[in-house]
Amino acid sequence: MNKTKGGFEKVVRRLVKKHSTPLMLISEAKLQQQYEAFVRHLACVTPYYAIKANPQPEIIKAFIKLGAGFDVASGNELISVLKLGADPAKIIFANTIKSPADLALAKKSRVKLMTFDNEPELYKIAKYAPGSRVLVRLKVNNVGSTVELSLKFGADPDQAIFLLNKAKSLGLVAEGLAFHVGSQCINIDNYLQALDISSMIFHEAVQVGLRLKTLDLGGGFPIHHFDSDDHIILKEIARQIRPKLRRLFPKDTNFMAEPGRFFVGPAGTLVTSVIGRTFRNNRNYYYLDDGVYADFSGIVFDHCRYEYKSLRRGQKFLSTLAGPTCDSFDTIAHNVDLPELEVGNIVYVKNIGAYSCASAVPGFNGFAPAKILMI
């Protein structure tokens, strides 16, 4: 996409004229830029794209071309990436709770690497996917992260050695450890503490005859959603992580991570149109042709806030944005500064490539999610 504001607006107007709205524009160049930034700042860490962030086939193809691995959470996600040409050896089944059918599918598909966080899961893996390589997922701090994943996942660190020994006794390969600091993590201490804990477990494992080979740093790498955001980003996180990886772990440790939002979030721009307007609660009130049941679903499921912009110029007024459905819950934002808009005017949001269309409800109230275009 053209980097200048004027060039961007020309592209948007041309695409709206051709395809109408709503549109989800995915920049292939931005996907590549994010991937290259990750491997530049964390060269010793192999990225596995977490496809739940956005499983669109063209996005998966782009990351296959770039050489990424893939983090899948279900049998359907596994089938999707395999059909598009992903290498089974570069896939991690990173859901700690897996159905017997999905485990059998992983075994059949030669996908051997997976996570777990409890003893009953190990018995299930040993039965339906014998010989798998397993990583015990640790419960670590998620303080300051937008989505706290430790509420649902992760074994207490003091249980790690027991669980790895149990895995070995069941004929599984006790490969190593995994953790997740929470989605959109802007607290560097979460990473640093998780690395310290993981290092202690690596050293304790040696004492009991276990040699761990892999550490999975999970995801959580944050992006800027607003032009004015100034919180920590990957570059600063990597600067503090790299020395710890070198100092705390054996030189031949295989480091991996599961970026989702970081890879695809900045690549997406949602383009919508005003389909109705009124004046309510002493402010302009605009109805858009997309809402929280569709591509603004990240407001609900991802606890995300977005920056709303318009192609129209002029004095800005306090405004409310709502979606097109008949549900009052479908209110996008209450306090947005926008110029006076008319029906047909464009409202767009950048940095919305993650989740959004991936968690949209198909066709609620008859309104289809945005058409997705790779540009």
Give pLDDT, residue 191: 94
0.75 surpassed by pTM:
yes
Calculate mean pLDDT across residues 207-231: 94
Give pLDDT, residue 152: 75
Give pLDDT, residue 188: 92
Q: Say if residue 256 is in the same domain as residue 326.
A: no
Give pLDDT, residue 186: 86
Other residues' Cβ atoms within 10 Å of the Cβ of residue 254: 15
Q: Say if residue 67 is in the same domain as residue 183.
A: yes
pLDDT score of 170 more than 70: yes
pLDDT score of 2 more than 60: no
CATH number of the domain bearing residue 100: 3.20.20.10
State phi, psi for 35 to the nearest 5 degrees.
Answer: -60, -45
Q: How far apart are CA 243 and CA 171, in angstroms?
A: 35
Q: Say if residue 206 is in the same domain as residue 82.
A: yes
> Domain containing 177: what range?
28-264
pLDDT class for 125, splitting at 50, 70, 90? very high
Give pLDDT, residue 305: 93
Give pLDDT, residue 6: 75
Separation in Å, CA 45 to CA 185, 303, 310: 18, 28, 39
- Of 218, 211, 131, 147, nearest in space to 175 by CA: 211
pLDDT class for 3, splitting at 50, 70, 90? low
Boundary residue ending a domain (212, 238, 264) = 264
Boundary residue ending a domain (246, 264, 282) = 264
pLDDT score of 245 more than 70: yes
3-7, 148-152, 269-273: least confident range: 148-152
Give pLDDT, residue 312: 94
Parallel/antiparallel/unpaired status of strands 254-257 and 45-50: parallel
Token duo for residue 168: 């070995």
Q: Say if residue 153 is in the same domain as residue 235.
A: yes
Q: What is the pLDDT of residues 297-348, one digit of tens each?
A: 999 998 999 999 999 999 999 999 999 999 999 999 999 999 999 999 999 9
Q: Say if residue 85 is in the same domain as residue 130.
A: yes
Percent pLDDT > 90 in the chain is 90
Boundary residue ending a domain (264, 287, 316) = 264
* Active-site residue list: 326
DSSP 136-181: EEEP---TTEEE-GGGT--B-GGGHHHHHHHHHHTT-EEEEEEE--
pLDDT score of 203 more than 80: yes
Calculate mean pLDDT across residues 149-155: 79
Q: Say if residue 73 is in the same domain as residue 210.
A: yes
Q: Is 213:175 a contact under the CB 8 Å cutoff? A: yes
Q: Say if residue 123 is in the same domain as residue 223.
A: yes
Calculate mean pLDDT across residues 135-152: 78
Q: Say if residue 79 is in the same domain as residue 191.
A: yes
The average confidence (pLDDT) of the chain is: 95
Q: What is the pLDDT of residues 19-55, one digit of tens each?
A: 999 999 999 999 999 999 999 999 999 999 999 999 9
Percent pLDDT > 70 in the chain is 96
Give pLDDT, residue 147: 63
Residue 371, C-beta contacts closer than 8 angstroms, at least 6 positions apart: 19, 22, 23, 24
Q: What is the pLDDT of residues 67-124, one digit of tens each?
A: 999 999 999 999 999 999 999 999 999 999 999 999 999 999 999 999 999 999 999 9
SS3 102: helix
Give pLDDT, residue 215: 98
Q: Say if residue 179 is in the same domain as residue 289.
A: no
Give pLDDT, residue 362: 85
Detail the DSSP E strand segments found in the chain: 23-26, 45-50, 69-72, 91-93, 113-116, 133-138, 145-147, 173-179, 183-185, 214-216, 254-257, 268-280, 283-288, 308-310, 316-322, 331-339, 346-350, 371-374
Give pLDDT, residue 148: 63
Other residues' Cβ atoms within 10 Å of the Cβ of residue 55: 20
Q: Say if residue 102 is in the same domain as residue 194.
A: yes
Q: Say if residue 323 is in the same domain as residue 224.
A: no
pLDDT class for 241, splitting at 50, 70, 90? very high
